[in-house]
Amino acid sequence: MTTRNILYSTAVLPGLLCFLACARPASRANGQAYTDTTTIQPAVITEQVKFDSDDPAIWVNPQNPARSLVIGTDKSAEGALYVFDLEGKIKQVVPNLQRPNNVDIAYGLLLNGKRIDYAVTTERITHKLRFYSLPDMQPIDDGGIPAFEGETGTQYRDLMGVAVYTNKKNEHYVIAGRKTGPQDGTYLWQYRLTDNGAGKIKATLVRKFGHYSGKKEIESIAVDNEAGYVYYSDEQYGVRQYYADPEKGNEELTVFGTTGFTEDHEGISIYKTSPTKGYILVSDQGANKFHIFSRSGTTHTLLKVVKVSAGHSDGSDIVNVPLNNTFKHGLFVVMSDDRTFHYYRWEDIAGKELESAPIKK
């Protein structure tokens, strides 16, 4: 999932309060990460999808944040994209998708002479990227865009992870992952998005990059637009970091989170407290926990581990903006294996140990 570029300035929600868990002890003793033994409860649990919830993305409504949406995948051969409101109610279903795996959203792509927001999902069975305009969820891809063309073997084309990178020139790129792939540094493929001349999306391959341990698979991908980095979970190995800009090359910058995980490294979400600071949240799937690392640069210190009530969490997404009276410091959405998505308040995740993004009135 992409982490949004900006820290919103808003006067929508005056008098915001920070509901911090007052009973929690000081966070880090002797340089050790603080482990919160409390199971954090969601503020909202969505209505159930039909088959298998897998990955969410959050669209912030620029005119009215309280009418923002959560887009979630229902991963099945007869799958769909589900659109939820901030109360977790199903507002729309986009059906007939063949095993949609991950989803991401982005803002302001120039298409047919207008700037549009959109969602992109990976359709594993057809090996296609699917694009939909937001908030109306209308297809803008002429039936889908093939990915990993020319690769031999179906498993090398089975789409899984996806994230959008938007640079300072407002150029849009999709970074796609797959069920399995080579270990030679070409696991991920990056595509530049443009108008195809008929008001639909065109995707042009611009680079292949990304090492793979061979231990399991790579699913979760997240982009930090402001910092210009892409992260992905090499499951049972660690989180890898690269430059998101293809012109900066394919050097691996670091690998972190290589110890302390119970099972798979899964969903990655990035909460920003400033243009350069904040937190990277990585799902420890088998433990129903998230490991929270420092965001800045290429040295990512483990700061805190939190346990959530969402079961066997796979995908997640986060925003740092005030949305409504429930989510005053941001929204953290986590997939749960009971066919739902859980909405958490950032202040419940942060506790006394972590900061919240500043709110400007």
All structural domains of the chain with their residue ranges: 2-350
Between CA 124 and CA 159 the distance in angstroms is 5
Residue 331 — φ and ψ, nearest 5°? -130, 130
Q: Is 223 within 8 Å of 163 (Cβ atoms)?
A: yes
- How much is the average pLDDT of 300-320? 96
Q: What is the CATH number of domain 2-350?
A: 2.120.10.30
Interval 176-220: pLDDT, tens: 999 999 999 999 999 999 999 999 999 999 999 999 999 999 999
Instruction: Please name the amino acid found at residue 242.
Output: Y
Residue 360's pLDDT is: 66
Which residues sit opposite 359 in a β-bridge? none
* In the block, residue with structure tokens 């899984």: 160
Confidence grade of residue 14 (pLDDT, cut at 50, 70, 90): very low
Residue 3: predicted pLDDT = 53
124-182 residue pLDDT tens: 999 999 999 999 999 999 999 999 999 987 789 999 999 999 999 999 999 999 999 99
Pull the structure tokens for residue 163: 């994230």
| pTM (predicted TM-score) | 0.92
pLDDT digit string (tens) for 58-70? 999 999 999 999 9
- The distance from CA 301 to its chain's CA centroid, rounded to whole angstroms, is 20
